[in-house]
Amino acid sequence: SAVISQKPSRDICQRGTSLTIQCQVDSQVTMMFWYRQQPGQSLTLIATANQGSEATYESGFVIDKFPISRPNLTFSTLTVSNMSPEDSSIYLCSVGGSGRATYEQYFGPGTRLTVT
């Protein structure tokens, strides 16, 4: 399985500011995904980040609010822009496709964001 780290692990931000979350994987992966977990809720996919192409966003999520970069096969960033208290969530990256076709996704530890 892949080992995934995220930075920062948590942050408290003022409304109107932006935060960039980093996701680093210890091996090359074809697929990277960004999910949001609102307090006490399940996970919802924000976007799929493929290297060398634009991220694909799910309904209800837009690039201006959640720009994503995927410069190589081991790294991605998610920016939460112009934050409001409603953006307070845990943001998790997941990866898949690091070798054998197992079709499972591995998750990072998450970034806990609080917007005041």
Binding site for another protein (CB under 8 A): 1, 4, 30-31, 33, 35, 41-45, 48, 58, 92, 94, 96-97, 102-110, 112
- Shortest separation between residue 45's beta carbon and another protein, angstroms: 5
Q: Say if residue 11 is exposed, middle or buried (CB neighbours under 10 Å; 0-12, 13-18, 19+).
A: middle
**Smaller CB distance to another protein: residue 75 or 106?**
106
**Smaller CB distance to another protein: residue 44 or 72?**
44
- Shortest separation between residue 102's beta carbon and another protein, angstroms: 8
**Which residues lie across from 45 on neighbouring strands?**
35
With H, G, I as helix, E, B as strand and everything else as coil, classify residue 81: coil
If you compute the radius of gyration of the chain from its CA atoms, what whole number of angstroms results?
13
